[in-house]
Amino acid sequence: MEMDSSSKAAALELFDVGPCEEPFRLGYLVGRKFSSMIQSRAAADLVLQRQLLPFARTPQAEPLIQAICSANRQRFPAHWEELLGTAEGSGVPVLHIILLNFRKEILPFIPKEETTPQKEAAADDDDDDDDCSDVLVVNDSMAIAAHNEDANTALLGHTYLVRARLPNGASFTAYTYAGELPSCAFGFNSNGIVRSTTFLSLLCMSCCGHKMTTNMSQAFTLNSVPPRLEEIIAGGIGRNLISRDLLEATSLEDSLDRICSCNTAVGHSYNLVDVISRRILNVETASKNRFSIHEVGKTPFFHANMYLHLQVEQMRTLSAGREEQPNSQQSQNQQFFRSWGILQMRNIRST
């Protein structure tokens, strides 16, 4: 892993952990290592403090939270134990950790009440329209996944890298939000590494300005998508547990199976990278096991926070009150290239 000189002074802390025979132990060690940061994030997170926790204390929240816990514990028992271990190690109440990890699965069901300045501030912190974005390209001379990591202000100074060794000998590295499972942002693993004449680079630009280029085998980045309420299933599988499971994928096909076989509650956009086969896929998912796969080729592909190829009813109103008009994939690409100068990437060559 290499970081450019401009980011070395503010480098993310990297925690090496494992192998741990018990998933609870893995979560516990991560939680203990970053306990101060997790506690600070929980205290500063306006969405947690002003929306999720007040709702969680109401009678109507109980069946929803119970359904979420039951479904996800049954589908991913090991990752659920890791989540509980994170709560135990950090000293943060387990309810707070659950709410942080299932924020997107709970927020749509919070009743809309009279707006107050405090609620407006919390809602602005959870807007999807300025979340992460990616530009992807695969051609004869290069294969690149460039990811811009954006999130709400509560995460400033509240992220870290986890490099975990697993009992089976594999390992993963994940950019992690404090208190959440690795990783709801991006990560990669060592499964199936072989000597290859091709090289695929992952350039990740976080909201804190970090840049890193690294070799990997299986990798992914994520983009939020905004389905309408009627497209969301109450008590479905959470996105954080699906992405945690992706960190242990052994191939592109295995990654697809892990994504598409889950009864996801909300849906997500996954950018899957396979270094061995030199392929990049964008996978959009929605509830009721719906998914669509786009393989990236020579034409640069840009994905932000809207569905592009899966037919799903989605929210189109931005936080500033402007109406988001449906854009073609091509126009979104061109807009991104103009604003970020990505067209200059044609001069980049793989090494």
DSSP string, 41-101: HHHH-HHIIIIIHHHHTSTTHHHHHHHHHHHHHHH-HHHHHHHHHHHHHHT--HHHHHHHH
Q: Are 44 and 96 in contact (CB under 8 A)?
A: no
Mean pLDDT of 232-254: 95
Q: How far apart are CA 229 and CA 318, in angstroms?
A: 16
Domain boundaries, the chain: 21-125, 133-347
Q: In terms of residues, how long is the chain?
A: 351
Unique residue bearing structure tokens 């952990």: 17
- Indicate left, alpha or beta for 209 from its phi (over 0: left) and psi (-120 to 50: alpha): left
- Indicate left, alpha or beta for 270 from its phi (over 0: left) and psi (-120 to 50: alpha): beta
Q: Which of 266-275, 293-302, 337-346 has the lowest mean pLDDT?
A: 337-346
Q: Are 15 and 33 in contact (CB under 8 A)?
A: yes
Sheet holding 143-149, edge to edge: 2-3, 211-213, 201-206, 143-149, 133-138, 301-303
* Confidence band, pLDDT 50/70/90 cuts, at residue 234: very high
Look at residue 3 and tell me whether its pLDDT is greater than 80. no
pLDDT digits (tens, 9 = 90+) for 244-259: 999 999 999 999 999 9
Distance of CA 304 to the CA centre of its chain: 13
- Of all residues in the chain, the percent with pLDDT exceeding 90 is 60
Look at residue 60 and tell me whether its pLDDT is greater than 70. yes
The pLDDT score that the predictor gives to residue 283 is 96
Q: Are 271 and 188 in contact (CB under 8 A)?
A: no
* Confidence band, pLDDT 50/70/90 cuts, at residue 4: very low
In order of 97, 106, 132, 220, the CA distances from 103 in angstroms are 10, 5, 16, 21
Cβ count near 109 (within 10 Å): 15
Phi, psi of 218 (to 5 degrees): -105, 135
The pTM (predicted TM-score) of the whole model is 0.82
pLDDT digits (tens, 9 = 90+) for 191-204: 743 333 334 455 55
